[in-house]
A and B are shown apart, each in its own frame.
Chain A
Amino acid sequence: QKRFVGDQVLRVLTDKEEHIVLLRELEESEDLQLDYWAAPAKPDLPVDIRVPFPSLQPVKIFLESHGIPYTIMIEDVQTLLDEEKEAMEKARK
């Protein structure tokens, strides 16, 4: 089973079209293995990106260097999945 330890989901909310263009370019970087949960559509719509742990530093540097505002929506994806699994098992019992 694939695990997501240390992966984070970043939420970008920007009002600048040029940021949206940059986020689209970022999506094309296959080596970063980014998973766009909510794709860059247009300003003022949130963009959510699951960033694998090894890609966190370069992605955050990219965002900060371009002045793209973001927050960490999910600190650790695996922790959330573990909680979800535990809740399902509890309910099943």
Chain B
Amino acid sequence: LERSSSGFDFSTYHTIEEIYSWMDDLVAQHPNLVSKIQIGESYEKRPLYVLKFSTGRTAKTHRPAIWIDTGIHSREWITQATGVWTANKIATEYGKDASLTAILTSMDIFLEIVTNPDGFAYTHSQNRMWRKTRSINAGSSCKGVDPNRNWDAGFGGPGASNNPCSETYHGPHPFSESETKSIADFILGHGNVMAAISIHSYSQMLMFPYGYKDEPAPDHQELDDLAKEAVDALAAVHGTRYTYGSTMHTIYQADGITIDWTYDNGVKYSYTFELRDTGRYGFLLPASQIIPTAEETWPALTKIMDHVHKHPY
């Protein structure tokens, strides 16, 4: 078993309370690198916590930054677990891994591990299959909005549902969910986010804009080339094969998604991962898969982050 000095077991699934408590431990263990900030609160008033990895304590303006979020679809537990492992990896590899150290010398990394805390808590307490937020929908007995259809980028198009009972319900209006609005406000308020990486499971894909329209993004070729490098790096660890490309052409039309909004708002390096699909468990991936999944995702992440670091814009 892979354990941290606080006894936290990275090879098992954890509740939101355990993850939030562990985040405090991580901050305490690495006070000069890691801090915890709150960017808002969920519909059910849970704090939306983001880990900030930064070595630039005296900067008057925001340093260039990389945004990573995991688990916006609450039932995809492998993503939150990968987020935890990744946070620990960033903290422990700083000063050892030359590439990561160089990145953190001039850039900050923001990581939101439990991006949909109400849904995540609900998967642990009431319904393991819950994907959406937990907000009430006026005029419907069905709760929740798909937070990855709730962004103001092609909002409400055919790649989302207008039925509140659907798993892809887009919500009454863009950013109706505090879970998405808080991230958007944070990224816009920061003003210097250079990359946004939104991590999901499961389909073994690495995708980039657009999902809401057919045309290639202006940076399509660069994003495509970098995606290939990233999935090659990922495959080199355990042989896991990913497909890659624009969302529209890799999987399907999806409207109102995170990375289309980030891209349309100036974040050139916008990517979304779909982690492991073993063909046996769907998103109910056994905990034994957490470490291998996180291990193989890491070089893909660092490949993207390193490219962002070396290609300022």
Binding partners A and B: yes
B12 touches A87 (CB 8 A): yes
A74 touches B282 (CB 8 A): yes
A39 touches B284 (CB 8 A): no
Complex CA distance for A22 and B6, rounded to whole angstroms = 52
Docked complex: B225-253 residues within 8 A CB-CB of A: 251-252
Q: Is the interface of A mostly helix, strand, loop or mixed?
A: mixed
- How many residues on A have C-beta within 8 angstroms of the other chain's C-beta atoms? 28
A91 touches B9 (CB 8 A): yes
Given known contacts A2-B127, A88-B12, A91-B287, is B251 in contact with A35 (CB within 8 Å)? no
Is A5 interfacial (CB 8 A cutoff)? no
A80 touches B126 (CB 8 A): no
Is B5 interfacial (CB 8 A cutoff)? no
Given known contacts A88-B12, A91-B12, is B127 in contact with A77 (CB within 8 Å)? no
Contacts of B282 in A (CB 8 A): 9, 37-38, 48, 50, 73-74
B232 vs chain A, min Cβ distance (A):
21
Is A1 interfacial (CB 8 A cutoff)? yes
Is B128 interfacial (CB 8 A cutoff)? yes
The proximity string for B residues 114-142 relative to A, scoring 1 for CB distances below 8 Å and 0 otherwise, is 00000000000111110000000000000
B165 touches A30 (CB 8 A): yes
B275 vs chain A, min Cβ distance (A):
13
Is A84 interfacial (CB 8 A cutoff)? yes
Is B281 interfacial (CB 8 A cutoff)? yes
- Across the interface, name the chain A residue whose C-beta is closest to B274: A38
Is B86 interfacial (CB 8 A cutoff)? no
Contacts of A74 in B (CB 8 A): 280-282, 284
B279 touches A35 (CB 8 A): no
B binding-site residues for A, Cβ under 8 Å: 9, 11-14, 125-129, 165, 167-168, 202-203, 251-252, 277, 279-284, 286-287
A binding-site residues for B, Cβ under 8 Å: 1-2, 4, 9, 11, 30, 35-39, 41-42, 45-46, 48, 50, 73-74, 77, 80-81, 83-84, 87-88, 91-92
